[in-house]
């Protein structure tokens, strides 16, 4: 598959044309703490939504793309809330199915700390959820292949044996499959055995575009450099290795040659005043996919990934309102020196200052 998404002559989302992106995966009702501290000490929570693929879908829709989210939810109030909240971002939820066998919508509670720290707590209530019943038999292939891009994550593979079978089927290279985007998204606690590293590696090898964190690759496969990760994953046309605050590196194979030679591009991350250190990976994927759909150069794709990640890091929830496209394009076009001095704070997505200055909330009065 090429590193770019083929243009749709009928127009994205237009009559007879596919949507830009289809995202498949579980979304849950998320309860955010009212203050920092252990879950045992938090007195109250705010209800919102969260799920890797739906986070990407919402961010892309808010950025102006046509997006469909496919999943299963319970025939319950939490399922109603999910479908309504995700649809409010402009995401097409018409292919979401309600479970008729009493399986509930998943929910989870989390602390306000960074997921990578030992202080971070997450309490999942998703075992036996409606989404865990997704399988090759319960999901419609026409819906799944109705976009220019199909975005998946490794979380779905860990939900159940049926979900894993569905993911294996979708990762098979076949005629008519859209560009397959896969975010490894390793969640050790979700796997029921020690098969996660092998399964996630196989799924990544079947994708056209792969996102993986350097910390994930070290934990999963004992790989400790972008080059080592690329050597283990030679099949995807595009491999993006994320290194948190140290930036990201993209390996892009030229589809016009059979030499296996990559163009390697690295872009440093931005300085950010973090409000909540959760959701940056999903947001980065959304920014990179948005720029890919627009056929921007690789460096711009990485910068748009960093900008979208900064938008969610400077907001309290897992999903945020992205900057206006013109604003993001101006920042992505900064020279290297200005990009290196840019610092983004809460509210930066609502306005713009001169390049190189600190980007913060801009008064509207």
Rounded alpha-carbon distances, angstroms, from residue 199 to 131, 157, 179, 203? 19, 8, 20, 6
* Residue in 290, 294, 285, 299 with CA at minimum distance from that of residue 333: 299
Residue of 92, 183, 208, 282 marked active site:
282
Residue 80 a catalytic site member: no
Read off the tokens for 2. Answer: 């090429």
Would you say 361 and 347 are in contact if contact means Cβ atoms under 8 Å apart?
A: yes
Residue 265 has φ and ψ, to the nearest 5°, of -130, 130
* Rounded distance between C-alpha atoms, residue 240 and residue 230, angstroms: 9
The CA distance from 257 to 148, in Å, is 23
Which helix H or strand E contains 193, and what residues bound it? none
Pull the structure tokens for residue 315.
């907001």
> For residues 255 and 79, what is the distance between their CA atoms, to the nearest angstrom?
42
Contact 282, 59 (CB under 8 A): yes
Quote the CA–CA distance of 257 and 46 in Å, as a whole number: 52
For the residues of 200-219, what is the DSSP string, one character each? Answer: HHHHHHT-SEEEEEHHHHHH
N-to-C CA span, the chain: 49
Q: Which residues are catalytic?
A: 282
């Amino acid at each position: 598959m090429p590193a770019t998404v083929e243009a749709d002559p009928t127009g994205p989302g237009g009559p007879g044309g596919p949507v830009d992106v289809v995202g498949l995966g579980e979304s849950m009702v998320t309860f955010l703490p009212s203050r920092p501290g252990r879950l045992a000490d938090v007195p109250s929570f705010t209800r919102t939504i969260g799920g890797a693929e739906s986070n990407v879908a919402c961010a892309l829709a808010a950025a102006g793309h046509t997006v469909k989210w496919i999943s299963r939810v319970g025939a319950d109030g939490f399922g109603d809330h999910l479908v309504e909240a995700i649809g409010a971002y402009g995401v097409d939820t018409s292919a979401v199915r309600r479970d008729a066998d009493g399986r509930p919508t998943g929910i989870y509670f989390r602390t306000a700390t960074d997921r990578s720290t030992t202080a971070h707590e997450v309490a999942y209530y998703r075992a036996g959820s409606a989404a865990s019943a997704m399988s090759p038999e319960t999901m419609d292939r026409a819906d799944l292949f109705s976009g220019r891009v199909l975005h998946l994550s490794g979380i779905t593979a860990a939900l159940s044996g049926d979900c894993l079978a569905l993911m294996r089927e979708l990762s098979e290279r076949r005629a008519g499959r859209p560009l397959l985007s896969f975010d490894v998204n390793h969640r050790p606690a979700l796997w029921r055995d020690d098969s996660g590293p092998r399964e996630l590696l196989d799924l990544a090898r079947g994708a056209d575009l792969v996102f993986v964190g350097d910390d994930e690759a070290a934990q999963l496969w004992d790989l400790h450099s972008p080059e080592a990760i690329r050597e283990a994953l030679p099949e995807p046309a595009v491999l993006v290795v994320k290194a948190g605050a140290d930036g990201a590196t993209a390996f892009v194979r030229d589809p016009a040659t059979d030499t296996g030679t990559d163009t390697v591009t690295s872009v440093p991350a931005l300085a950010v005043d973090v409000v909540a250190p959760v959701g940056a990976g999903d947001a980065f994927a959304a920014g990179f996919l948005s720029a890919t759909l627009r056929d921007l150069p690789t460096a711009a794709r990485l910068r748009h990934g960093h900008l979208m990640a900064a938008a969610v890091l400077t907001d309290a929830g897992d999903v945020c309102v992205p900057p206006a496209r013109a604003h993001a394009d101006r920042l992505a076009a900064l020279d290297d020196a200005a990009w290196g001095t840019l610092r983004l704070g809460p509210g930066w997505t609502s306005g713009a200052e001169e390049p190189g200055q600190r980007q913060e909330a801009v008064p509207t009065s």
